[in-house]
Amino acid sequence: MKIVVTRSDEQADALVARLEALGHDVVRCPLIRIDPLSDEPIDPAPYDWIVVTSPNGARELARRLAAKPQRIAAIGPGTADALREHGLHADFVPVTHTQEGLLAELPPGRVLLAAAEGARRLLVDERGADFLALYRTVELRPPAPVGDVALLASASAARALAATGARLPVVAIGPQTAAEAREHGLDVVAVADSHDLDGLLDVVSSL
């Protein structure tokens, strides 16, 4: 099967290696670029929890932290893995790997939501968390990729893929990504049960 991988980071390299080991033909088609927004150190002292919602956020948080936070919450295991790769420990990962899961399950305390510019701010709206934009996601416009299925790991990648004019089926990493893909006319054939790269691989194995 020819599989389009739409990320271009360390996790994407690992995903490509695992797909190729399973005998798949992989097409790389990066759809987003991550631009850091600042080099200013982040002081975690005022917060009981720093919440990170993506591997990119984990990398940027690790790069800018001025001191060790009291506790860090990761939205899912992929983000927790990225924190660990950069010397940080996720003290909490919700059972449901969404902001709704974080809202329902995160223990009490003052919260800083550290995420992408323009990210969903459910914790801000419902829990009064502070928000810090760590990076900007820039959607790229490559030629439309050709393959049997594309793997989408973010809503921005879904928008960017649709903008290329590609109409191949897609597998989404989670419900928000799936909803964005459908809104832009893409055919979502599956949504990963676990919202991480292992979940995407499990779906590919079942296709």
Q: How many residues does the chain have?
A: 207
Average pLDDT over residues 40-59: 96
Strand order through the sheet with 25-28: 25-28, 2-5, 149-152, 170-172, 188-191
The predicted pLDDT at position 201 comes to: 87
In which element (H, E) is residue 84 found?
Answer: helix 77-85
Instruction: Indicate if the pLDDT at residue 194 is higher than 90.
Output: no
Residues spanned by CATH 3.40.50.10090 within the chain?
2-31+142-206, 35-137
Looking only at the bridges linking them, the beta strands covering 32-36 and 130-139 are antiparallel
Q: Three-state DSSP class for 133?
A: strand
- Cβ 192 vs Cβ 202: under 8 Å: yes
Cα–Cα distance for residue pair 60/74, rounded to 1 Å = 14
pLDDT tens for each residue of 153-173: 888 999 999 999 998 999 999
35-137: CATH topology is Rossmann fold (3.40.50)
pTM: 0.78
2-31+142-206: CATH topology is Rossmann fold (3.40.50)
Q: At what angle do helices 175-183 and 155-163 cross, to 10 degrees?
A: 20
Tokens of 202: 């499990």
